[in-house]
Amino acid sequence: MKANHPVVRVLLWCGIFSFLGLWGSGDTVFVKDKDKKSRKIEGKITQETDLLVTILDYEGKSQVFQRSDLIMLTHAKSKIDAYEEKKAAMENTADKHYELAVWCKENKLNFLVQKEYDAALALNPDHEKTRAALGFKKYGDKWLTEDEYMKSQGKVKYKGKWMDKTKASEAGYVEPVTFTFTAVYAGDCTKKDFADLAKRFQQGDEALYNAMEGQLYISKITIKDKTPKGDIIIKNLDSDSIAPGVFGNAAVPYDPNMTWPDYWVKIGGKFMMITFIHEFNHAIAGSPDEADQSCAMGGAFEATTYCEVCWGRLKKKYPHFKHPRPKKDWDQLPELQIEIVDQ
């Protein structure tokens, strides 16, 4: 291995600097928390005034503190300073940005890794090491991930394996219907509110997937506070209802001439699973309420499935759906991606 090999250089560089102690933890602030305990944040102080101190931490998050809340502040060269110095001194080539990405990864500056890979690809979209690091392969004249390549070949992933559509269908595969939604709350959400909502939506997605016999799920929900308009409107944070005796509400396109309202469902922040699968059947398939109490559209609290009448309507909407569909044919529920937008 030659000394100019990127890995060797990185190792030498780390070794020398940590030996000399030129940078270790970086700038450090100790702040008083709400419960009066002290908390330590390391990174790079990006702004310091008489009143405020802003520190960029090693996760890439910028945090602002009142100076009066600080117990102690120490200055030291940080990994972010080292990154900036390296960047300022290097040539602007795809190779150099790739090497810097590797360095960031080794130094656990993960928030900068993708940025450097992106910079490398912007300069040279065919930069092989960067493409390989990001999991791309070249097919013909295109760089694709394995999943993209398989999809481009008309294959489907079923139970963890890529296969021909016909073969998969014979084995019990049904192409799932997926949705991405924005869930909004008009007021302010704390971190705990967001965490509670995220957990409940995960349970709701699972209940919906089970009710739809493994053929429909939500792939992504973006939860935003201080926003009045969205697909899922969260009317409150502390109730399973949206008004006394009203658990939820759905925009239902019973009338073909009706224009789609600007939301799908309205629910309470502590909604029950029955409410979730009930309102989403209204919104997705236009199913009306019904008398059958064993069906989720009948509204008995413990109902978790849809009745034959509802399935007739679901199959009208999605003719490729199968029913009844044995559980052994269901694929594992893909993880629901949740994005939090705290405003």
Nearer to Zn ion, 131 or 278 (CB): 278
- Scanning residues 309 to 328, which ones bind Zn ion (CB under 5 A)? 309-310
Binding status of residue 56 toward Zn ion by CB under 5 A: no
Nearer to Zn ion, 211 or 295 (CB): 295
Binding status of residue 307 toward Zn ion by CB under 5 A: yes
Select the span of 21-29, 109-117, 160-168, 295-303 touching Zn ion (CB under 5 A).
295-303
CA distances to 16, 102, 184 from 213, rounded to whole Å, are 59, 44, 28
Candidate list 80, 297, 303, 338; residue touching Zn ion; CB under 5 A: 297
Select the span of 85-93, 107-115, 192-200, 302-310 touching Zn ion (CB under 5 A).
302-310
CA distances to 49, 90, 138, 149, 152 from 142, rounded to whole Å, are 50, 29, 6, 10, 11
Are the beta carbons of 100 and 129 closer than 8 angstroms? no
Nearer to Zn ion, 109 or 295 (CB): 295
Select the span of 42-50, 128-136, 193-201, 287-295 touching Zn ion (CB under 5 A).
287-295
Binding status of residue 303 toward Zn ion by CB under 5 A: no
Q: Measured from the CB of residue 249, what is the shortest distance to Zn ion in angstroms?
A: 18
The H or E element spanning position 327 is none
Per-residue binding string, Zn ion, 186-205, x by CB under 5 A, is: --------------------
CA distance 140 to 254: 48
Instruction: State the angle between helix axes of 79-89 and 94-106 in degrees (0 to 180), rounded to the nearest 10.
Output: 170
Q: What is the DSSP letter of 160?
A: T
Q: Measured from the CB of residue 287, what is the shortest distance to Zn ion in angstroms?
A: 7
Q: Measured from the CB of residue 231, what is the shortest distance to Zn ion in angstroms?
A: 23
Nearer to Zn ion, 172 or 299 (CB): 299
Nearer to Zn ion, 6 or 286 (CB): 286
User: 336: which 2 tokens?
Assistant: 């629901």
How much helix, strand and coil, in percent to the nearest 5, is found in the chain? 35, 25, 40
User: Which long-range contacts does 250-257 make (Cβ < 8 Å, 24+ apart)?
Assistant: 250/279, 250/280, 250/282, 250/283, 251/283, 252/282, 252/283, 252/286, 252/288, 253/286, 254/286, 254/288
Binding status of residue 295 toward Zn ion by CB under 5 A: yes
Binding status of residue 123 toward Zn ion by CB under 5 A: no
Amino acid at 57: D
Neighbouring residues of 275: CB distance < 8 A, sequence distance ≥ 6: 240, 247, 248, 267, 268
- Scanning residues 65 to 84, which ones bind Zn ion (CB under 5 A)? none
Q: Given the rule CB under 5 A, which residues bind Zn ion?
A: 295, 297, 306-307, 309-310
